[in-house]
Chain A
Amino acid sequence: MRKVAVSGVGYSEITRGGIPPSPERLALIAAKNAMRDAGVTGADVDGIFEYSFGYDSPMATYVQKGLGIPNLVVFQDIMGSGPSGLASAMAAYMAVASGMCETAIVYRCITQAAGNTGSIAAVPPPPAPGPNGMSEALVYGVQALIPSMGMRMQRRMHDYGASLEDWGHIAVNARKWSADNERAVLRKPVTMEDYLSSRMLAEPLHLLDCDLPVNGACAAVITTAERAADLPTTPVYIDSMAFGTGSRPDWSVGDDFLFGGTINCGETLWERSSFTPADVDLLELYDGFTHITISWVEALQLCGLGEFGDWVDGGRTINPGGRVPLNTHGGQLAEGRLHGLAHLTEAVLQLRGECGPRQVPNAKVAAIGNAHGPQAGAMIVSTERSGS
């Protein structure tokens, strides 16, 4: 396998409300910015991978046309059952590492209207559910994932003695970081009191446990380490990646309701990695819901299962200046729901030392986790070619 690096990242603007956005424009702007960042042109690109729900993002060949890419030797439009936006970068890694292509563009574009899987946006339910948990749940008034996340929190309190403040630390932390992120939509600080008094949606799940639907896109350029060395940016190498589903996977009645596939994913990731959990300088972990973020901290073995409450130390561990900074862009809770890929693009900017007032000093290794349930995915990235 060839060594692979991320050579460029880019964003569109991130907004809410206003005139209905064009996903085509958002995706093209993000991809164009990523290519400029990497110093590549359309002629250099031969692969595109994108993740979408199907109606929220333009297909790969549309973006190819806009970017002036003469031909794609590989491309894939990845559907919503993958590990959220990171799935696009995971596919590109496999293609570049195996030699199927040289330089790939990946993107995740999402609009406020399409973001309802994780939000409280009141849109009608899909009309034709199949034989799976999501469809039966609908018969019982379980729309989207919010009530099911509330049930995970309830069970976690039962199994591990978790407290509401555990999840609150994720919500409070997000705004501490987003205060220094100009891309972020929500930059006003929130306190633990704000969290605990925010609207109850599916008790014990509060409004501030949920991410914020936005209109926006982010993108990355993924290429060989060899090619990356000739480009203007500091290469951020993809050290390892893994998927995880767990046994008898299902969002509602899979064998591991609390963690889904994240534990299997973490185990595979560290088997493949040249680093260890102790090497991690920063965490960029999916936060469509705060429960998911805590699952990832534990599944990636930053602490034992059920030990997050002690590990987070009242927020000090993950806050600015903390030992293991978490979601340094404010995550989807505060920057907005770019749906997973922005956890990678922020990690890249941090490792390149380009994050200004929110820069984590001397950050060399970042761990990224995406999604939950039956569709977990994770990645270790570093400016070092490999760990010791």
Chain B
Amino acid sequence: MTADLDFNPPRPHPYPDEVTAGFWEAAQQRTLAIQQCGDCGTFMHYPSALCTNCQSENLGFSEVSGRGTVYSFAIVRHSFHPAFTPPYVIALIDLDDAPGVRMYTNIVDVDPEAVRIDMPVRVTFEDIGDGTLIPQFMPA
């Protein structure tokens, strides 16, 4: 997973904008924060410009525990991007305390063959080469 800057291009970076910046800024503080509607409490990911439940614009980011379970995963065995060296695990995680939220991640610090659906995981943060931190998950 580690980019070798002498030989490989950098990993793709997040592109925060006015809607998504709160998520990435929290990650930089080693915090997993999910967008939540200030009126009806609905959690949303990816962040939305309107609450998808009540269409409120009163939206913020709430810190969550970072615990969840694996909804599904795949073991990537082909090089799709020069900055990523197979094998690595991509997964979708259902968060324990943000109902309805499913998010992309890699499962790190694990033997890819050991990953299972419904496996408990917790968040960790990975430096993708220049100090930028992104949320990742590892076995809980």
A202/B74 in contact, CB under 8 A = yes
Asked if A252 CB lies within 8 Å of chain B CBs, one says: yes
In whole angstroms, what is the CA distance A132 to B104 when docked?
A: 11
- A310 to chain B minimum Cβ distance, whole angstroms, is 23
Most chain A CB within a 10 A radius of its CB, from B14, B17, B74:
B74
- Residues from 193 to 221 in A contacting B, C-beta threshold 8 Å: 199-205
Given known A-B contacts A120-B78, A139-B134, A152 and B72 have beta carbons under 8 A apart: yes
Name the residue on A nearest B48 (C-beta): A131
B90/A140 in contact, CB under 8 A = yes
Known: A199-B78, A203-B76, A253-B102. 8 other contacts (CB 8 A): A141-B83, A148-B90, A155-B71, A202-B74, A202-B76, A253-B45, A257-B72, A257-B102
| Category for how many chain A residues contact B | 35 or more
A133/B80 in contact, CB under 8 A = no
- A198 to chain B minimum Cβ distance, whole angstroms, is 12
A202/B78 in contact, CB under 8 A = yes
Asked if B52 CB lies within 8 Å of chain A CBs, one says: yes
In whole angstroms, what is the CA distance A210 to B91 when docked?
A: 20
A201/B77 in contact, CB under 8 A = yes
In whole angstroms, what is the CA distance A152 to B91 when docked?
A: 11
Most chain B CB within a 10 A radius of its CB, from A132, A200, A250:
A200
In whole angstroms, what is the CA distance A122 to B80 when docked?
A: 6
A154/B74 in contact, CB under 8 A = yes
Tell me which residues across on chain A come within 8 A of B128, comparing CB atoms.
139
| Category for how many chain B residues contact A | 35 or more
- Residues from 48 to 82 in B contacting A, C-beta threshold 8 Å: 52, 71-81
1/0 per position for A140-158, CB-CB distance to B under 8 A?
A: 1111101110111111001
Name the residue on A nearest B83 (C-beta): A141
Most chain A CB within a 10 A radius of its CB, from B13, B75, B106:
B75
How many A-B pairs have beta carbons closer than 8 Å: the answer is 118
A202/B52 in contact, CB under 8 A = no
| Interface residue from A133, A144, A154, A203 paired with B104 (Cβ < 8 Å) | A133
B81/A141 in contact, CB under 8 A = yes
In whole angstroms, what is the CA distance A199 to B14 when docked?
A: 31
Tell me which residues across on chain B come within 8 A of A142, comparing CB atoms.
80, 90, 104
- B2 to chain A minimum Cβ distance, whole angstroms, is 12
Asked if B19 CB lies within 8 Å of chain A CBs, one says: yes
- B106 to chain A minimum Cβ distance, whole angstroms, is 5
B15/A135 in contact, CB under 8 A = yes
Asked if B120 CB lies within 8 Å of chain A CBs, one says: no
- B36 to chain A minimum Cβ distance, whole angstroms, is 16
Tell me which residues across on chain A come within 8 A of B80, comparing CB atoms.
120, 122, 141-144, 146-147
Asked if A136 CB lies within 8 Å of chain B CBs, one says: yes
Asked if A125 CB lies within 8 Å of chain B CBs, one says: yes
Asked if A137 CB lies within 8 Å of chain B CBs, one says: yes
Tell me which residues across on chain B come within 8 A of A158, comparing CB atoms.
72, 117
Asked if A248 CB lies within 8 Å of chain B CBs, one says: yes
Tell me which residues across on chain B come within 8 A of A199, comparing CB atoms.
77-78
Most chain B CB within a 10 A radius of its CB, from A130, A135, A154:
A154
Given known A-B contacts A140-B105, A141-B84, A257-B71, A202 and B77 have beta carbons under 8 A apart: yes
B46/A131 in contact, CB under 8 A = yes
- B38 to chain A minimum Cβ distance, whole angstroms, is 19
Asked if B92 CB lies within 8 Å of chain A CBs, one says: yes
A141/B46 in contact, CB under 8 A = no
Sample 30 A-B pairs with CB under 8 A, ordered by A number: A120-B78, A120-B80, A125-B81, A136-B14, A138-B12, A138-B81, A141-B76, A141-B80, A142-B104, A146-B80, A147-B80, A148-B74, A150-B74, A151-B72, A151-B73, A151-B74, A151-B91, A154-B72, A154-B73, A154-B117, A155-B72, A201-B78, A202-B74, A202-B77, A203-B74, A203-B76, A205-B74, A252-B104, A253-B102, A257-B71
